[in-house]
Amino acid sequence: MARRSESVSTTPDIQDNSPGIELGSFASGATPATLSKLIIATYNIRYAVGSFLITGSLLRRVRLSLPHRRASLVERHLSRAAIALKDGRRLPPVDILALQETDKETARAGRHHIARELASALSMNYASATAGLPRDEEQQPKQWYLDFEEHIAPDDTGDTGIALLSRLPLAKTERLALPWTECAWRPRLALAATIEVGSRQLHLFNSHIDPHASIEGQLEQHRAILDCASQLEGPIIMLGDFNTLSRRSCVEMRRLLEAEGFTTPFATGVATWRAGLIRLHTDWIFVRGIEVTRWGVARGLGVSDHWPVWVEVNMEKAV
């Protein structure tokens, strides 16, 4: 227990373009057709392994999974995701994309670099932040309904994390280590970026909030991000997988963010995640200082157990 307490972060650790962030670009240099309207989406891509969270876990437990086919499966899913994010059928072509569970060369992702390969397929700039999984921390069983995910083995040289992809240049990126206490083997982080849209700046915070934490523990992670956001001027967007697994967690999270001037067009209870017959509202987009003109959830993609959540913002009315 002493080792766990030593690994807990108590304050946000902001590192400007730190070693924990990989930056790259596949952008053509062309800007969006209009700088006044941008499509911004968040998507827990679940390392592009598919939508069958519970079924996949059960098959692994009885040794009926086919790990040798994982690389080709993930490759197909990444191709499917790229098409959906740019062809305009399920959602408008995306200009800025926040990703969670972007594995980097893990066995469970077939050794694919999820963020980099998707950025390449979408011709975007990207910033990828890895969690920095501690290899000497043994994973422990938590709540049974959260124990279906495929773990990353201690000897796996890969890592998992979050990423931001953008058709516009990423002017500045910051890695925020969030406070967490429940899972010493899975650090929690957020990725901040400033994007220059014409003469304006747009600030984004992409986070993957701990599903194992209590509601108060989750709110503490949001507060760490809000502390950083309070230092900024101009429009701000907070988005990501907030892991609001109950209505109460949705309500408490909304109350906190709305008290700080953030709003969301999504009514509480909109399904963004599925497992069998279960539907939950786990993925969110909140804005401050900017107008949302359209929004939606792109269901039926099959790449992850989550669905992309998107908004259109009007930069002309940003304050």
Query: Which carries the bigger pLDDT value, residue 12 or residue 216?
Result: 216
The torsion angle over the Cα atoms of residues 211, 216, 221 and 227, rounded to 10 degrees, is 160
Distance CA 172, CA 61 (A): 43
Q: DSSP string spanning 134-179?
A: -TTSPP----GGG--SPPPPTT---B-EEEEEESS-EEEEEEEEPP
**What number of residues does the chain have?**
319
The one-character DSSP state at 129 is E
SS3 250: helix
Residue range 141-187, pLDDT digits in tens: 666 556 667 888 889 999 999 999 999 999 899 999 999 877 766 78
When mean pLDDT is compared over 19-28, 114-123, 124-133, 175-184, the highest value belongs to 114-123
pLDDT of residue 28: 81
- Average pLDDT over the chain reads 86
How many CB atoms are located within 10 Å of the residue 158 CB?
19
The pLDDT > 90 percentage for the chain reads 68
Reading phi first (left if > 0) and then psi (alpha if -120 to 50, else beta), residue 240 is in: left
> What's the token pair of residue 236?
């701000």
Distance CA 260, CA 94 (A): 27
Q: How far is CA 64 from CA 55, 60, 77, 126, 296, in A?
A: 11, 6, 21, 36, 36
pLDDT of residue 186: 78
Mean pLDDT over 3-12 rounds to: 33
